[in-house]
Amino acid sequence: MTIKPITYFDNNATTQVSQGVLEAMLPFYRESYGNPSSMHHFGGNLSLQIAQAREQVAALIGAESTEVVFTSCGSEGNNSAIRSALSNNSSRRRIITTAVEHPCVLNVAKQLQSEGYDHVVIGVDGDGQLDLGQLEEALKVPTALVSTMAANNETGVVFPLEAIGQLVKTAGALWHVDAVQLAGKAPIDLRSLPVDLLTLSAHKIHGPKGVGALYVRRATRFQPWLLGGHQERGRRAGTENVAGLVGFGQAAEEAKEAIENDVIAQVAKLRNRLEQGLLARIPDCVVNGGGTTRLGNTSNIGFKYIEGEAILFSLDSHGICASSGSACTSGSLEASHVLRAMAIPYSVLHGSIRFSLSRFSTDEQVDLTLQVMPEIVDRLRQLSPFSDDDVSWLQQMELAPNP
């Protein structure tokens, strides 16, 4: 059976493990497979490799190695950060997030609301950029924690971290940043940002799945979410995934080098060629978030009058992997909460596709996508009877009104 080459433009979902990361990990599955908490040398000596990985991850974000707590993923890091911040500030029962956060933040906030916490949601403008005035106003009420992402996973929109940090610290609140998408795609220097807690995930930077990290600024009180043994200096229990941690460290080092050597800048040029080529070849399409600062690898484009799922199925038949801002659930089409918060028109909302590239993306992959996309969109539009004057079919499928 001949396997069709894959054009993988879904790197904000997960990334290919790099060859260097794979090679670094393999010995810890076969030869050095001991438990780092063991008294004997076969296991105990692995603490040296974990320490090295911690230093590599810390270097990626401008932190001290003692400020890095290893976790299983970004979701665990976000849950741990939020729960710890609130447990250590019981006099304040108020949390602020944005409308476009990842579900692992929004769902925690929803749960906290059911426990009696006040959850304030800050909106975004039509480009997905944070409303700083609304945040400043919300912070006039004593707040325990502000949790904001650094860059949006769907649109690539980058939040103004310096401005957010100034507002949060002036108000005396703790600040948690979900940097899962920003890390490895742009420089992060926590020596110059007043971040208290920050979340990372290995599989977004060409590392393995099932490994993450939580930055806890020195002197920030931290309450463990996962209890058990003494691992991670008592901050996160569980036998260390040595192979995964070594892979994470290697991935962090490679990502840092890619930023320093302008490899990430080359990814942005490739993204721009893809984006500009699609806009030039296909009428009635728009870049969601295109009017503000974005990650250089991400392009979220809305194609009017058609559904994103239909585009994705057609792309998949050509071996092209992308993702949609909407998802089919129980027979009904629910639009992306991110695009809804941006008040994207109904005629565009359900036809929005995210292309997210990496340093392994190629010109040939962009050429293929530019070749097939106009044909796909044209065919689907011929099958669609809808236009700007007839979008009630979309409105009726919404689970809530468009903001």
Please give the positions annotated as active site: 328
Which two three-digit tokens encode residue 116?
Answer: 């009696």
Give the burial class of 1: count Cβ atoms within 10 A of its Cβ; 0-12 exposed, 13-18 middle, 19 or more buried: exposed
Task: Report the chain's C-alpha Rg in angstroms.
Answer: 22
CA distance 249 to 52: 7
CA distance 335 to 362: 30
Name the pairing type of β-strands 118-122 and 94-98.
Answer: parallel
> Is residue 286 helix, strand or coil?
strand
CA distance 205 to 151: 14
Which two three-digit tokens encode residue 351?
Answer: 């036809």
Cα angle at 394 between 390 and 395, to 5 degrees?
A: 95
CA distance 46 to 361: 35
Which two three-digit tokens encode residue 179?
Answer: 């940097």
Instruction: Report CA torsion sign: 311, 315, 316, 321.
Output: negative
CA distance 253 to 251: 5
DSSP β-bridge partners for residue 286: 302
- With left for phi above 0 and alpha for psi between -120 and 50, is residue 231 left, alpha or beta? beta
Question: What's the half-sphere exposure (Cβ side, CA atoms, 13 Å) at 230?
Answer: 3
CA distance 100 to 129: 10
CA distance 336 to 341: 9
Backbone torsions φ then ψ of 334, nearest 5 degrees: -110, 120
User: With contact defined as beta carbons under 8 Å apart, do 146 and 176 qualify?
Assistant: yes
According to the 3-state scheme, what is the secondary structure of 72-126? CCHHHHHHHHHHHHHHCCCCCCEEEEECCCCHHHHHHHHHHHHCCCEEEEECECC
